Structure 1
Amino acid sequence: MVKVGSIILAAGLSKRMRKPKLLMDFHGEPVISYPVRLATKQYLYPIILVAGQYIQQMKERLSSYENITYIYNSQFELGMSTSLKLGIQSIAKDVDGVLIFLGDQPCLTNEVIESILMEFKANRGAGIKIVRPRYAGKEGHPILFHKDLFHEFQLLEGDEGGKSILKKYKDAIQYIDFSIDYWGRDIDTEEDYRNLLHQRK
């Protein structure tokens, strides 16, 4: 049995929003609840949520969800790499792969997650180490990494995320294409937020 866990990155500074975007209301729920729900629906385990200064508020807003492991990132101001390292360290011994979510993608669908998981389970023995979605031709998130690459995360620095890993293992990436581009959009600005509210009615 292939075991896939999830890491939800929720420690960003929301610099362009100037307020905690993951706690903003999106059709009656906080933005952060959407990736959590998808991870729960697909029985991804463990579900690791890495948060920074707003961790307590997130725990309160997500109190109806069980089986979430919260990790406080005391170095959240140093960038995404610090959250990725913490998440991978906490999950590495328990899974065959990990699906890494951004916290601010409320229009992601179950179809995307199911397709990524199916592709990973079908092809992980054929040299595929990474499964990544493309929305209307644009590379996006969430991204699934095979456990063989977990050690690479400890080399990351600053706010680069996993770009260097994706570049290094570009020949081991399997892409899945979706025609609906807003499924993969994240929220950086007020305009992004308003546009996605309108898209997902």
Structure 2
Amino acid sequence: MPKIGVIILAAGMSIRMGEPKLLIPLAGKPLFRHVIDSILGSSMQPIHLVAGEYIEEIRQQSEDYPELKIIHNPNYTDGMSTSLKLGVQSIKEHVDAVMIFLADQPLTSLEVIRALIEKYIECKDEGVRIVRPKYKGKEGHPILVDASILNEFHSIKGDQGGKSI
């Protein structure tokens, strides 16, 4: 079984929302905690969360997750690429693959997570390096990325994710 780690991107500025979206309660807990809870049902380790402006609030509201490593992105205003690079840098030496989650997508089920892992294991010997879910023809998250291509994330810039990879 490959060692699969997790990067949770939680450094967005919530400009359109007007308040910290990740801290808004959903079913009695902050939005970002739902993502962590989904991950904890899997066997993925380590779990790294990249936060920006609201790092202190996220730390306070996740103290009961000892397995969670929170990384500060001081350049969060420069876009998602900066968070991806930090997350990749912090985890790449410790894993065979990484699953990348968006902290503002709380409804990812354990079933989807397990299906992505199974597909990755099934297809990696055929050269597949990225596994991504699709729903009604539309690509979504989380994305599972093989460690062999993680260095490619260092070439992205601005407010873009890994789509070009």
Is the shorter-chain TM-score for this pair beyond 0.5, marking a shared fold?
yes
Q: How does 1:156-175 map to 2 (within 5 A)?
A: 156-165=156-165
Partner of 2:15: 15
Partner of 1:198: none
Provide the rounded CA distance (Å) in 2 between the counterparts of 1:59 and 1:49: 10
Question: Where does structure 2 lack aligned partners over 5 or more consecutive residues?
Answer: none
Instruction: Tell me, yes or no, if structure 1 residue 39 matches structure 2 residue 18.
Output: no
Using CA pairs below 8 Å that are at least 6 residues apart, which structure has the higher relative contact order? Answer: 2
Provide the rounded CA distance (Å) in 1 between the counterparts of 2:121 and 2:56: 35
What TM-score do you get using the length of structure 1 for normalisation?
Answer: 0.80
Deviation at 1:6, TM superposition (A): 0.3
Deviation at 1:137, TM superposition (A): 1.6
What SS does the corresponding residue of 2:115 show, helix, strand or coil?
A: helix
Deviation at 1:43, TM superposition (A): 2.1
What SS does the corresponding residue of 2:94 show, helix, strand or coil?
A: coil
Provide the rounded CA distance (Å) in 2 between the counterparts of 1:81 and 1:92: 16
Percent identity reads: 46
Output one character per residue of 1:132-170: Cα deviation in whole Å (capped at 9) or x when no partner.
0011221100000001111100001001111111xxxxx
Deviation at 1:66, TM superposition (A): 1.9
Partner of 2:49: 49
Provide the rounded CA distance (Å) in 2 between the counterparts of 1:145 and 1:46: 15
Partner of 2:106: 106
Partner of 1:186: none
Equivalent pair of 2:50/2:70 in contact (CA under 8 Å):
yes
Deviates more, 1:9-18 or 1:62-71: 62-71
Provide the rounded CA distance (Å) in 2 between the counterparts of 1:6 and 1:124: 18
Output one character per residue of 1:23-82: Cα deviation in whole Å (capped at 9) or x when no partner.
000010100001111221112111000000111111111122221011000000000000
Provide the rounded CA distance (Å) in 2 between the counterparts of 1:122 and 1:66: 31
Partner of 1:173: none
Partner of 2:128: 128
Instruction: Tell me, yes or no, if structure 1 residue 82 matches structure 2 residue 118.
Output: no
Q: Give runs of ≥4 in structure 1 deviating > 2 Å.
A: none
